[in-house]
Amino acid sequence: MTARTEGIVLRSRTLGEADLIIEYLTKDFGTRSAFAKSPRKIKSRFGGSLEPFTHARVALTGREDASLPRLTQSDILRSFHPLRENTAAFVKACQFAEMVLKLLPPEGRSPDAFALMLWGLDGLEKEPASAFVPVTFKLRLLELAGYAPALNGCARCGSQAEVFYPRDGALLCGGCKKEGPALGLSAALIAMHRSLSSFPLEKLSRIKPSGALLTELERFVELHFSEGVNVHLRSAKFHSRT
């Protein structure tokens, strides 16, 4: 059978001398891998459609239960070529792809994640140096994956709280506090988190956090990501050297 969908290239790896295995985030089937026959040959019909972050209309052919269908069609909808020419934007986009692969279950359908990925790539293409786009992408993806931090009062007793404990993924008040890493959060950050989590993607550009609030938000998200979710990105190491 042949399945047709839209896909975003997350990464690829070589197989033999001229073949590739492409890992996609698809609109209809979640993350899927596909086998591409001889795309590295000069006369390949796939052209540049298998480059990282390319948004394409694809056709996957194979048995219904095949773990590695064959890619038989790939037509570019948007290349996101500028992302591959700007080092800062490329590294951030690589982080997006790595987060998707690590946080979302294989073949778990998530049209919201697909829309988020397109939003993130579009934002980076328009503003390669943006700090708002990456931190917002992380927050929204964590929520889609079921790892959203709990910031609606103390997670144990429900009283007001402003200290975040990443290993609990939540705020705890003074009476319920625990040993371990913790980070005090401002009321502005808690309100900002609520807005970033609930606003439609197409309206997120209306949010304009101050530099100080954005820095606080970045620190909070990184702490939750590394200590709470316990996910460490290989691409983040490269980012620290750029």
Confidence of residue 110 (pLDDT cuts 50, 70, 90): confident
Query: Once rounded to an integer, what is the mean pLDDT over residues 163-187?
Result: 93
Q: Which amino acid is at 82?
A: P
Confidence of residue 117 (pLDDT cuts 50, 70, 90): very high
Say yes or no: domain 83-241 is CATH 1.20.1530.20: no
- Distance of alpha carbon 93 from its chain centroid, rounded? 8
Q: Above pLDDT 70, what percent of the chain?
A: 92
Using CA of residue 198, residue 201, residue 202, residue 207, what is the dihedral sign? Answer: positive
Contacts (Cβ under 8 Å, ≥6 apart) of 19: 35, 36, 37, 38, 39, 40
Q: Which of 62, 2, 46, 50 is nearest to 24 (CA)?
A: 50
- 5 pLDDT above the threshold of 60: yes
Rg (CA), the chain: 20
- 185 pLDDT above the threshold of 90: yes
Which residues in the chain are classed under CATH 2.40.50.140? 2-79
Amino acid 201: pLDDT: 93
Q: What is the mean pLDDT of the chain?
A: 89
Angle ∠(197,144,85) on CA atoms, nearest 5 = 85
Q: How many CA atoms lie within 13 A of 69 on its CB side?
A: 20
Q: How many CB atoms are located within 10 Å of the residue 86 CB?
A: 15
Which residues in the chain are classed under CATH 1.20.1440.120? 83-241
Looking at residue 232, the DSSP 8-state letter turns out to be: -
Confidence of residue 37 (pLDDT cuts 50, 70, 90): confident
Fold of 2-79: OB fold (Dihydrolipoamide Acetyltransferase, E2P) (2.40.50)
Confidence of residue 240 (pLDDT cuts 50, 70, 90): very low
**pTM for this model (two decimals):** 0.90
Query: Once rounded to an integer, what is the mean pLDDT over residues 101-116?
Result: 90
Amino acid 139: pLDDT: 95
Q: How many CB atoms are located within 10 Å of the residue 195 CB?
A: 14
Q: Which amino acid is at 7?
A: G
Amino acid 48: pLDDT: 85
Longest dimension (CA), the chain: 68
Amino acid 68: pLDDT: 87
- 241 pLDDT above the threshold of 50: no
